[in-house]
Structure 1
Amino acid sequence: MSVELGSGDWLEENRANWDERVALHVASPFYDRSRLRAGGSVLDPIAQAGIDRMFPSGLDGVRVLHLQCHFGSDTLSLVNLGATAVGVDFSRPAVEEARRMAAELGVDDRVRFVEANVYDARHRLPEPESFDVVFTTWGTIGWLPDVAEWARIVAWFLKPGGRLFFADGHPAAYVFEGDAGPGGLPAFAFPYVGTGPDIIDDPSDYADPEARLVNARTWEWMHPLGEVFGALRDAGLTVDDFAEHYELPWRMFPITVPKGDGMFGWPGRQWLPLGYELVASRPVEE
């Protein structure tokens, strides 16, 4: 099934789903912002460690573009750590909450939030080669039909020498779902190489187990590692670092258990990686 980038049922239904989630997430302990209000960071351990490795001297003077920022908690964490930032999200309620929180924290002179879907970002934010970092983590490209265009957009915004920090669920784990496998393990549900969108009707929400969404229909895409790496290469970026992780900052499967610091992982054997991260850079032209 082909889709039109920047418009169509896939975009409208996904946006309605995420619009509805905003109020649930703002109220949920899953998105506790007490550390943010105290001037700190709510970055998960993987993202925090990645940023620390990239910028061991801190983020002062660093300009960050955060794509698919939801209601901006991670964006504002980067600002609290010293960066100036632009956050982009396609959900109007999410962007409104992000702006409200920036004002509450008194940092709205160092951060800007833009309402736009990723594929329209270049039109809504015409600032090519402006950013030291493009940051995007956890549950992002699976909502996008074309990862090659995503990579070109990332490259367009990065300064020469600028870097992408990307972390997401591992596509090898995304082939599984639920707890119908042996011993309560997840069972096969989706092919690793997708031929089109998986159109899913699921009223549940990862941040609020009691919630039942009205806008429950979503369109999602599988992007294997080879596709992601190839898209970044074809966009002119160089992958400098790559790591797989056996813990995630949300409960991907019912069998996963808390591991501390808001992370969840396998209860025993490390069956397969649950997430991955990479850093890619735009080469400096000689």
Structure 2
Amino acid sequence: MILRKAGLAAATAVVLSLTATACGGGDSGSGDGKINVGIKFDQPGLGLKTPNGEYTGFDVDVAKYVAKELGYDEKDIVWKEAPSAERENMIANGDVKFIVGTYSITDERKQRVSFAGPYFLAHQDLLVRADDNSVRTEKDLNTSDLKLCSVTGSTSAQNVKKDFAPKANLMQYGGYSECLTGLENKSVDALTTDDSILAGYAAQEQHRGKFKLAGLSLSDEPYGIGLKKGDTKLQQQINDALKKMVEDGSWEKAAKKHFGPANYQYEPAPEITEKG
């Protein structure tokens, strides 16, 4: 009798487990049918939390598409802010299932997390004031007289220090909005990060006419979707979703929607290279 009860309990547990998985609960880590997804909250055109609490941008659309392919409706997504310096920790700690947040794929980061994609190719550039013509080439950056601003933990900041402008006076803040404020009040001379991010800021209504891109292509920044290291199953699922997004035209539709207003000449969807 005891054995029958134990067997019944085990069978019930299996059924409940299968039901939860079918509903998507097994993928979220929360067990409530939700999925935690990391994005940026302060990048217009890519990942932005609006004053009324909505989330908009190209990365947001990519994240929604991927989540849908994983079995989650938009209402099941719990958006988590993913600052550049915290992304690896958020993934490793299980705070999010994946991150879509202008997350450049680098060998250093791959020591701690895995990536799917890439799904977008950007290039590092500078945003300067509209009347500033002091920066024309890469050589103009490597001087202590130039006050550059970037975000702590970003590849842009690392590139400045290691590669093209080791002499520059680099200031690192927690968010791009802080750099933008510094650029506007002239406490910094330039904001450096990916051209896709800079274009989004320049296109905002309150900033139109104030800033311009310097037009320097300083690096290649392939954006990947960050996930738990070694999770090859999820990696393949996300790669499949990205391929489908390109093939059915959703990728191009999202790119035109979010980058078109900035007149940003984005590149076609890159080939997926990250595989287990």
TM-score, normalised to structure 2, is 0.33
Q: Which has the higher helix share?
A: 2
Which structure has the greater CA radius of gyration?
A: 2
TM-score, normalised to structure 1, is 0.33
